[in-house]
Amino acid sequence: MSLVDYLAYSLGIMYVSDLRYGEKVSKEKLSHILKRKISLDDFPEREWQDVCEYLTGEKKTTKEEARQKLLEYLRDS
């Protein structure tokens, strides 16, 4: 299972696009999953980069940067 699919599954949403556009997505729950439920090593670097770019619109070069940007995006939006 890919990172984006895992996040959608963990949030109980049917469509990956709901991660980005869905009003029912709990940013607090998504943040909790990113911080506490998965580690950086659970998914390849490219998947972290892809999810970061998909949700935030920003490209990052490492999985550490990608996760940090995702958490900032969720906190600030």
Report domain extents, the chain: 3-76
The pLDDT confidence band at residue 20, using thresholds 50, 70 and 90, is confident
- The most confident of the ranges 20-24, 56-60, 73-77 is 56-60
User: Which contacts (CB < 8 Å, 24+ apart) does range 26-31 have?
Assistant: 27/74, 27/77, 28/74, 30/74, 31/71, 31/74, 31/75
pLDDT tens per residue, range 29-46: 999 999 999 999 999 999
pLDDT of residue 26: 86
